[in-house]
Amino acid sequence: MSDDAPRPYGFDTLQIHAGARPDPATGARQTPIYQNTGYVFRDAEHAAALFNLQEVGFIYSRLTNPTVAVLQERIATLEGGVGAICTGSGHAAQLMALFPLMSPGDDIVVCNRLYGGTVTQFSQTIKRFGWKAKFVDADKPGEVAKACGKRTKAIFCESICNPGGYVTDIPKIAAVAERKGVPLIVDNTSATPYLCKPIEMGATLVVHSTTKYLSGSGQAMGGVIVDSGTFDWSASDKFPSLSEPEPAYHGLKFHETFGPLAFTFNGIAIGLRDLGMTQSPMNAFLTLLGIETLSLRMEKHVANAKKLAEWLENDPRVASVSYAGLKSSPYYRRARKVYPNGAGALFTVALKGGYDACVKMVDGVEIFSHVANLGDTRSLIIHSASTTHRQLTPEQQVAAGAGPDVVRLSIGIEDADDLIADLDQALAKATA
């Protein structure tokens, strides 16, 4: 018996224990908040070894911190990756994921159904680095493949897409990425590893805004990049930052030296060191607390979302509901296949009363909060076209599922009947 590999722990066990152990100094059972910047070296030799990346350890909290390290290991384990890099926000994670892959003149091929802030980051801001994003319809793998050119360094999509709850066929997109020899980056924020494991479906990197479901109660900003460890960075000359000598580390080659952990080490040793988009220990602690109940919350989020979507769909004041967990959705079968634990808790509702009714509904709710966040225990509502997706052109808004006649709901974990009653009275005001 003793020779047998141990039975792997289940998700509910890992979300509480992965990466954590009693504090070696005090025995504290909960992960302590190491609200600390510098770490004492044993001696000069130890310090030199750490700075040369010959030994792994703590130097300075811009790069590594014990509380943040537990969060990194916890999320890497839940996603099935070999390592992870935590960042100060989800947007920081996206830039940090691209940074080792891109040079001026390079491009990424991205799905056009995306979080509004990501559309802006990719279509406007990254141009200042000389990078370019080509937007495509992920429902057309042929279009995705065609957009991949000589200078394409990654394909980027979301698993369950904000705001409309569209579900991406990740295995299909992963097959395109593999054929083109580029990494697939999946933003798994709205699904979480409880509903979707992109790495098992062929993703190279997974990014999150941990600000949302992972922290879970709208209490801490944060982001993470999870490294699958599966991509061969040396198979072509496309990724010199990972395969070629690094001048800022005496000519060290990350892929040759660290193998499957090349991206993770590069992200910490170059990305966090030089870009400094570090997550604070306090936010890592709050996010760890949130993750301990992730599966319980997601079950309830999904159950509530399904009930509310079904109720809304049958209401005469509603034109349509975008939830992929509804039998009427064109994505129902895909959602069942790719996201068997549920299609998330995010969707849009189109009102027959159009823009005016949407705005009145947002003003009329009582339990729902009118905020730009999502993935909170609280139910949230927003009119995307006038807020989160405001910087987009009307065509981009419609492509992203955020047209002027829809409101976005992020369904929380309150009593479903109370939420239905709240939407009922808000709809009454909106259509009076």
Residues of the shown chain interacting with ligand PLP in the complex, contacts defined by CB under 6 A = 89-91, 115, 117-118, 158, 162, 187, 189-190, 209, 211-212, 221, 223, 374
Please give the structure tokens belonging to residue 236. Answer: 């072509």
Query: In this complex, which beta carbon is closest to ligand PLP, that of residue 134 or of residue 208?
Result: 208
Task: Give whichever of 215 and 241 is closer to ligand PLP, judged by the CB atom.
Answer: 215
Burial of residue 367 (number of CB atoms within 10 Å: 0-12, 13-18, 19+): middle
Tell me how far apart the alpha carbons of residues 57 and 229 are, in angstroms, rounded to a whole number: 21
Output the smallest distance, CB 372 to ligand PLP, in A.
9
Q: In whole angstroms, how close is the CB of 276 to ligand PLP at the nearest point?
A: 16
Strand stretches in 174-331, DSSP E: 184-187, 205-209, 223-227, 318-321
Closer to ligand PLP by CB, 83 or 116: give it.
Answer: 116
Q: Nearer to ligand PLP by C-beta: 118 or 396? A: 118
Query: Six-digit token pair at 373?
Result: 């966040």
Residue 310 CB, shortest distance to ligand PLP, in Å, is 24
Residue number closest to ligand PLP, CB atom? 90
Shortest reach from residue 334's CB to ligand PLP, in Å: 19
Looking at residue 199, the DSSP 8-state letter turns out to be G
The residues, any chain, with a CB within 8 Å of residue 80's CB and separated by 6 or more, are 193, 197, 199, 200, 228
CB 231 within 8 A of CB 238: no
CB of 107 to ligand PLP, least distance (A): 20
Residues 27, 137: Cα–Cα separation, whole Å:
52
Query: Judged by CB, which is closer to ligand PLP: 112, or 189?
Result: 189
Nearer to ligand PLP, 65 or 168 (CB): 168
Contact 110, 136 (CB under 8 A): yes
Q: Cβ of residue 106: shortest distance to ligand PLP, in angstroms?
A: 21
